[in-house]
Amino acid sequence: MTVQNISQEELLIELRKGTSKSYKELYLTTFRQVEHFIRNNNGQQEDAKDVFQDAIIGLIKMISKPEFELNAKLSTVLFSICRNIWLKKLRSRKQGKTVNVIDNDEHTFVVIAEDEIEEKNAIEDKHQMIADKLNEMSEVCQQVIRYFYYQKLPHQQIAEMMGYTTGYVRVRLHRCIEKLRKTTSNK
């Protein structure tokens, strides 16, 4: 298993698209550090796997924001998000007691605001139903909807990623969301 060689910019683009290639790269470059950190702080490998997945989701949302600037390596950002998530978990486990963190010198991390990581909402049936309907839609619809409504990428960027024009993305998006709206309205 060799570490793939892709540049940070390339990784950024792949990650916005959500390709397996980018995920694999993140595992290869960052997972060990995260596992190490979590093991040092009362956790197991399984915890590390869970935290890692949640952190990648957080990372995808973070890098999709228009104001995002790449001024640290993505692996460093990812590690920092993992660290935050794990500390949050530890705190809620210990309920008020202070948590001592063991950081190793070899890890660098960037400070990430707590509210960057969103709390998970309780899943209601109707929302689950909407997600299922979306799952039945065409691949293109799933992609544009995810890129626009979830990652909140601007039309222009979605157009570049998918090889369309901005106007077409806009129309397509409208069609897809209308279809979803119709199939899920409770009339």
Q: What residues line the site for another protein (CB under 8 A)? A: 1, 18, 20, 23-24, 27-28, 31-32, 35-36, 39-40, 42, 45, 49, 53, 56-57, 60, 102, 104, 121, 123-124, 126-131, 133-135, 140, 142, 145-146, 149-152, 163-165, 167-168, 170-178, 180-181, 184-185
83/172 with CB nearer another protein: 172
1/111 with CB nearer another protein: 1
- How would DSSP label each residue in 23-73? HHHHHHHHHHHHHHHHHHTT--HHHHHHHHHHHHHHHHHHHHSTT----S-
Helix (H, G, I), strand (E, B) or coil at 7: coil
35/89 with CB nearer another protein: 35
98/135 with CB nearer another protein: 135
The CA distance from 141 to 60, in Å, is: 19
Nearest one of 121, 128, 178 to 149, comparing CA atoms = 178
Tell me the closest approach of the beta carbon of residue 133 to another protein, in angstroms.
8
